[in-house]
Amino acid sequence: MTNGTNNQVVVTGIGCLGPFGLGIDALQQALATGVATTSDIDRSAGYHRNGSATQVAATGELDLTPWLSEDDGRRMSQFSQHAVTCARMALGHAGLAEIPSERTAVTIATAFGPGGFTERLALQVLQKGGKFASPFLFTDCVANAAAGQIAIATGARGANLTICQREAGPLLAIAQATNDLRLGRADVCLAGSVDELQPLSYAILDRFRALARPTARDGKTEELPRPFDTQRNGYLAGDGGTILVLERDQHAKARGARVLARVGDSARAFDPTAPRTGHGRDSAALAARLQERLGPQLRTVDTVISSASGARRGDALEAEILRTVLPKLPQVLAPKSVTGEFGGGTLGAAMLALIGTNFGKPQGCTQPDPNIGIELADGLIHAQHILCSAHAAGGVSSWLTFSQP
């Protein structure tokens, strides 16, 4: 992606929802507790095996009517509903009542797309036959449905992109949007991540041993995500959405917008040693790539918003890279312990760390893995320069920096 700072991009708004509820304040409260809001995954369809993971950080029933009429909502999947809600919330937060339609782009990352509609359509086709497929389900079950619905809801006629790169998607989406803004293709971009996790996707992730399983500690057996912890054994699957309003600096200034953060540069790389559904071992190559792309900016990083989620190998890979590029390791946060994996919670956490927020000690992280040697920070965090990282199962890594305005 484009380097340089002469054509700066800023964040002026955020909209988010997830297991923590609606909006940045709800996310802030959840992060302060260090505790994820979880529930039992619905096992009624029979997809799950005995002994599988049971907990999910699912977005519950939310009142979306301030952003989405009931009529509009009925025409969309939950995935699209959440995307449109986050987009409108973000525009409201940014004070952008009207967008420059032709100059507004949308870039959304998703790992699973509209899982609910896709599963329902699949069951129609496989159980009843192709003639029973619903056109209503089909048109909103493509991965880019959310980005398209955002465009229809907001009138954004610029580039409309959807990136599918699992856990690395949210940072790649922000980097893509930033690049398009810097190249002058748009003045405003709604960028972020939306995901809808359904029991079927959950059951498949569990079969690949991606999800946290119950572990005994202090006389209790709990199924918790434990980033960088000695007993980590998988992540907490979750869903939700986070969308940022990105603007060209001069556009934000011209309208007197409040700036939440300045977007820095990004890096991305692939580790061919990674198995198709897991993390690889070539941390040296990934670190070299990160250093090559972001070298000077790394020296000023005072806070890392880590992708650590409790994944056994993924967390170790993350630690190896951080220790290589940041010998004096700054404070490290792992917000996925609260938001769950998927839904872009790390983007919201990054904005809150810049604004100044209390981060609670993650519930499951009381025994730092001595082989990793990272103890997660807690308390009031007021970051100046943030490095966000993400390492996706399958080998893709991405990094992005944010700074104070």
Span from 16-24, 54-62, 109-117, 330-338 in contact with another protein (CB under 8 A): 109-117
Nearest approach, Cβ of 261 to another protein (angstroms)?
Answer: 22
Q: Is 102 in the site for another protein (CB under 8 A)?
A: yes
Choosing from 31, 91, 106, 191, the residue that interacts with another protein (CB under 8 A) is 106
Comparing CB distances to another protein, the nearer of 269 and 311 is: 269
Distance CA 45, CA 102 (A): 44
CB atoms within 10 A of CB 262: 18
Could you say which residues in the range 174-193 bind another protein, by CB under 8 A? 176, 179, 183, 185
Residue 225 to residue 233: CA distance in whole angstroms: 8
Place of tokens 């993350």: 318
Q: Which stretch binds another protein (CB under 8 A): 249-257, 272-280, 317-325, 339-347?
A: 272-280
Q: How far apart are CA 359 and CA 347, in angstroms?
A: 15
Identified binder of another protein from the candidate list 53, 394, 399, 402, rule CB under 8 A: 394
- In this complex, which beta carbon is closest to another protein, that of residue 219 or of residue 272? 272
Q: Any contact of residue 260 with another protein (CB under 8 A)?
A: no
Count the neighbouring beta carbons within 10 Å of the beta carbon of residue 155: 13
Positions 147 through 176 that interact with another protein (CB under 8 A): 147-149, 151-152, 154-166, 172, 176
User: How near is the Cβ of 228 to another protein at its closest, in Å?
Assistant: 26
**Interface of this chain with another protein, residues 130 to 149, rule: CB under 8 A:** 130-131, 133-135, 137-145, 147-149
Residues 232-251 close enough to bind another protein by CB under 8 A = none
Member of 127, 220, 221, 328 binding another protein (CB under 8 A): 127
Side-chain-side CA neighbours of 304 within 13 Å: the count stands at 26
DSSP states of 111-155:
SS-BHHHHHHHHHIIIII-GGG--HHHHHT-STTHHHHHHHHHHT
Tell me the window of 219-227, 273-281, 313-321, 331-339 that interacts with another protein (CB under 8 A). 273-281
Please pick, from the candidates 51, 97, 220, 276, the single residue that binds another protein as defined by CB under 8 A. 276
Burial classification of residue 360, based on how many CB atoms lie within 10 Å of its CB (0-12 exposed, 13-18 middle, 19 or more buried): middle
Q: Which helix (H) or strand (E) holds 161?
A: strand 160-163
CB of 297 to another protein, least distance (A): 15
d(CA 240, CA 341): 10
For residues 379 and 359, is the Cβ–Cβ distance under 8 A? yes
If you write DSSP's letter for every residue of 223-276 in order, what string do you get? ----TTBTT---B-BB-EEEEEEEEEHHHHHHTTPPP-EEEEEEEEEE-TTS-T
Under rule CB under 8 A, residue 343 binds another protein: no
Site for another protein in 2-31 (CB under 8 A): 2-3
Interaction mask 27-66, another protein, x per CB under 8 A: -------------------xx-------------------
